[in-house]
Amino acid sequence: MTGIDAPPHPFDTAIATEYVGTHQLAGHTCPDYANMVGPFGGVTAAALLRAIERHPERLGDPLSLTVNYAGPIADGPFEITARPVRTNRTNQHWQLELAQDGAIATTATAVFGIRRDTWSALELAMPSVPGPEEADPQVFPEFIAWGRNYELRFVAGAVPDIAAAGAEPGHPDSVSTLWLRDSPARPLDFASLAALSDAFFPRVFLRRGRYLAAGTISLTVYFHATADELAAQGTEYLLGSARANRFGHGHFDQNAHLWGHDGTLLATSHQLVYYKD
């Protein structure tokens, strides 16, 4: 089978949408990226980002994306409205909505822009950890379908082993560090980077040592990498690290960082998550 004949990667199928109007697109959920309730939030974020990338009025590349998961997305078709609300000389602001049967399920804002050559510095260094070949892969439980689309090799803070947790489950902190990439491997781009920014299980699972009802309410991704820096990553593993800052009153925040295999900080993310204990 040649590259021309090869079927699309499952991720590209999951985020595929079709323009049916100037600012309207039609899409459909994908069972391969299902979560405990509705689709994996990362694939929804990626579909919204890809909708802008394909818009003829788009300026530059993604700088930030904020997705607010207002309600559940049911299995089936959905509509996306993607509209530029202001275009400046070097940046462009977008508003997006995802709806089903006339009801808004997700809202989002995004900033795209043209990157300029300027002075630069990196204050957050990539952690020094063993390579991916020294970390064992871990598979999410069967009921988390989207997890099967990623190769996850934990260096620290793996998904809790409920059977082995014992009488006093839980972990002293919420930090996970892991190597991760699409499975099957896929060249990195902005859409897949957006999805990978949400590929960290809820931090409350680690702290409590068990699965709880939990879900992301709001996710913001900051894209630090250029398109050339993403292309340079190819299909290599990224190194990710995530932690929470405070749990309480049914919510916690969770921040994450993603580095390329060459030590380039590609993206950072922050999200608000609800949970029931």
- Cβ atoms of 205 and 212 within 8 Å: the answer is yes
| Per-residue pLDDT at 1 | 46
Which tens digits make up the pLDDT trace of 192-207? 999 999 999 999 999 9
Tell me if 245 is assigned to some domain: yes
Tell me if 5 is assigned to some domain: no
Q: What is the mean pLDDT of residues 220-227?
A: 98
pLDDT band, residue 36 (cuts 50/70/90): confident
Tell me if 216 is assigned to some domain: yes
Q: Which of 85-89, 136-140, 223-227 has the lowest mean pLDDT?
A: 136-140
Q: What is the mean pLDDT of residues 25-44?
A: 95
- Cβ atoms of 74 and 12 within 8 Å: the answer is no
Instruction: Report residue 73: phi and psi, to 5°.
Output: -105, 120
- Angstrom distance (rounded) from CA 98 to CA 197: 20
Which tens digits make up the pLDDT trace of 65-124? 999 999 999 999 999 999 999 999 999 999 999 999 999 999 999 999 999 999 999 999
Which tens digits make up the pLDDT trace of 149-166? 999 999 999 988 776 555
Structural domain boundaries enclosing 57: 10-114+129-276
Which pTM was predicted? 0.95
Tell me if 59 is assigned to some domain: yes
Domains: count for the chain: 1
- Name the DSSP letter for residue 39: B
Question: What 3-state DSSP class applies to 264?
Answer: coil
Structure tokens at 68: 């607010």
| Per-residue pLDDT at 66 | 98
Tell me if 123 is assigned to some domain: no
Angle at 162 between CA 136 and CA 73, to 5 degrees: 90
The residue written with tokens 């993403």 in the block is 230
Tell me if 3 is assigned to some domain: no
**CATH code (residue 236):** 2.40.160.210
Which tens digits make up the pLDDT trace of 245-275? 999 999 999 999 999 999 999 999 999 999 9
- Cβ atoms of 60 and 115 within 8 Å: the answer is yes
Which amino acid would we find at residue 252? F
